[in-house]
Amino acid sequence: MPRLILLSLLKFYQRYISPYKIRSCRFYPSCSEYAVWQFRKRNILIAFFATFFRILRCNPYNSGGFDYPLIKKNSFKLSPYKPSMKIEFFYVPYKQNEFYIVKNIFKGRQ
């Protein structure tokens, strides 16, 4: 339940507040999108601290760049691709049981 409330607040921010602000995030994905991914895939407390430290790094003295969320998974199972499936995230191996999470941004056939 708290996870749904936090995700709803983040989506509210992205939809109604963020469009009226100057784009100042130095990272991709944006800090709010990073927070959404963290809260979807990690423990709430860990996601909160990861998001908090990400926002602290997002300042004029940091060059920014790509900063995908790092998640841990104990098992990783590949499933067969079906055209009807909508891929939402990719897991890119980082270390033993640790993966970068990358969101699919393609729409339709390329």
Question: Per residue in 17-28, pLDDT tens?
Answer: 888 888 778 888
Q: Does the pLDDT at position 110 exceed 60?
A: no
What mean pLDDT comes out for the span 17-45?
86
- What is the maximum span of the chain, computed from C-alpha positions, in angstroms? 45
What residue segments make up the domains of the chain, in order of their start? 1-103
Provide the 10 A C-beta neighbour count for residue 24: 10
pLDDT at 3 over 50: yes
pLDDT of the residue at 86: 63
Residues β-bridged to residue 93 = 99
Q: What is the pLDDT of residues 49-106, one digit of tens each?
A: 998 998 888 887 888 788 777 766 665 566 665 555 566 777 777 887 787 777 665 5
Q: In a 3-state reduction of DSSP, which class is residue 83?
A: coil
97: how many CB neighbours lie within 10 A of its CB? Answer: 12
**Entry pTM:** 0.65
